[in-house]
Structure 1
Amino acid sequence: MKLREGLYAYPWESMTENNCNAYLIDGPVRTLIDPGHAHLLHHLEAKMAQDGFTFEDVQLAVATHPHPDHCEGLLALQKLGVKTTMHVDADAFIRSFSDQWRQMTGQEMPAFHMDFHLKEGTLELGTEKLKVLETPGHAPGSVCLLWEGQGVLFPGDVVFAQSIGRVDLPGGDAAQLMESLERLMGLDVDLLCPGHGPWIEGRGAVKENFYFIRQAIFGMGR
């Protein structure tokens, strides 16, 4: 589904099985953000095909954090020659996450080998740039990606429409998440593309969403 020029969204809408929204930036380096669970990739592939894309068209796949419903599909994409990346702390967390991974997926933890690691700063995608923001709290190594010049923020599971990512999973930290949200509130964002649920369009609507969360969840005024 085309959201705007060069940006496609593939929302996960099933109420019976968990997976994440995926986003495709159709730029000089075609980039897929959060491919989701490996066993559900065929759903994403079918949706991308409606827009004229295949997995082989993707040059880079990014995971915003190390939970299986966001990053597991990286492994299958690697086999197709797609470069993959996540934050170094996310990669390290996965390596210490074998028991929890088994409980969440029913499978043994696969071997992740990133082509490079994200860090605070700028990820250059040809003439396009993604600003990488380290935003822990929901999970270690969680990052948000700001598409500079477009005002589009991909927050993973840090923030949703009127909600935030859970902090009761291993590595979650409510205080860190609140700090991450405060940081995001200062950004100039026109389109919020979260890891689950609907996106939010319009600078005013995005700001209002942050204010709502700040007050309703953290009990803080404006």
Structure 2
Amino acid sequence: MSLPERLYVYPWESYTENNCNSYFLDGPVKTLIDPGHAHLLHHLEARMAQDGFTLEDVQLALSTHPHPDHCEGLLKLKELGALIAMHEEAQAFIKSFSTQWEHVTGRKMPEFPVDFFVKEGRLTLGSEVFHVLETPGHAPGSVCFYWEKEGVLFSGDVVFVQSVGRVDLPGGNAALLARSLEKLMGLDVRLLCPGHGPMLEGRGAVKENFYLIRQYFFGPQA
């Protein structure tokens, strides 16, 4: 698979424990998208070390949405000196999610003292620019990051290869997810980088994936 220069992909491939894919951009602002569960960060750390990086190298850690398997590791990265960011509605959801959080993680829900909130629009990282797209449906405060210059979409749990994020968890909404899917379909994407499962390369393949998902999950008029 042809990855953009300076993009490092760390897929979660274990079938015995849930966690997310993580993505690291070794750019002007060294950025990590979705660090995953805190207690599984040592796996990410070991994978990054193979590429010559440490968690201390991360300057900015972003979360696509407020589920523990994507955002819990933000706290450790903040301790190591990184800035952390998520959508404002994601932080608000976490605060109302304490019972479910403790059920999922077995730990008391922590505070997430974010350094800034991401919102719809441009996110400038030195000479690189991401577009932040608000994409609720799987979870409140869900966002996708679109690296337009390279045609890369970091889709979190909004869209996967041949599937979409579940909507039966607290805050899920199928109608909102359908609208978010339509929003993403208009992008020029050559590389889909989802929160779980394999990546998908090729503009035609990504476009076909969107249409197949819309047809199967939402019908042709979603």
Short-chain TM bin = over 0.9
Count of matched residue positions in the alignment of Structure 1 and Structure 2: 222
Runs of 4+ residues deviating >3 angstroms? none
What are the residue-to-residue correspondences of 1:1-222 with 2, within 5 Å?
Answer: 3-220=3-220
Partner SS, residue 193 of structure 1: strand
Q: Is the 8 A contact 1:128 1:148 kept in 2?
A: no
Change (3 A) 1:59 1:2: farther
C-alpha distance in 2, partners of 1:118/1:25?
17
- Residue 2 of structure 1 contacts residue 9 of structure 1 at CA under 8 Å; is this kept in 2? no
Decide whether the 8 Å contact of 1:2 with 1:8 is kept in 2. no
Q: How far apart in 2 are the matches of 1:20 and 1:130?
A: 20
Q: Are the counterparts in 1 of residues 167 and 174 from structure 2 also a CA contact under 8 Å?
A: yes
Distance in structure 2 (CA, Å) of the matches to 1:147 and 1:217: 26
CA distance in 2, matches of 1:156, 1:109: 21
The 1-side partners of 2:34 and 2:3 are apart by: 17
1:217 CA displacement: 1.5
Measured in 2, the distance between the counterparts of 1:75 and 1:209 equals: 34
Counterpart CA distance in 2 for 1:216 and 1:167 is 15
What residue ranges of structure 1 are gaps of 5+ in the alignment? none
CA distance in 2, matches of 1:85, 1:187: 24
SS at match of 1:23: strand
Are the aligned partners of 2:4 and 2:150 in contact in 1 as well (CA < 8 Å)? no
- Unpaired stretches in structure 2, ≥5 consecutive residues: none
Q: Distance in 2 between matches of 1:152 and 1:113?
A: 28
Q: CA deviation at 1:220?
A: 1.5
Query: Using the alignment, how far apart are the partners of 1:4 and 1:19 within structure 2?
Result: 24
Q: Deviations over 1:62-121 (max 9, x none)?
A: 000000000000000110001000000001110111001011111110111000000111
Distance verdict in 2 for CA 1:171–1:101, change over 3 Å: same
Is residue 101–residue 109 contact of structure 1 (8 Å, CA) maintained in 2? yes
In structure 2, distance between residues paired with 1:5 and 1:107:
38
**Deviation (angstroms), 1:2:** 8.5
Structure 1 residues 2 and 113, CA, compared in 2 at 3 Å: closer, same or farther? farther
In structure 1, C-alpha distance between the alignment counterparts of 2:5 and 2:47, rounded to whole Å: 17
Report the Cα distance in structure 1 between the residues aligned to 2:162 and 2:2, rounded to whole angstroms: 24
CA distance in 2, matches of 1:60, 1:69: 18
Q: Deviations over 1:18-76 (max 9, x none)?
A: 00000001110010000000000000000000011101111000000000000000000
Percent identity between matched residues is 72
Amino acid at match of 1:160: F
Q: CA shift at 1:3, angstroms? A: 2.9
State the distance in 2 between where 1:98 and 1:216 align: 34
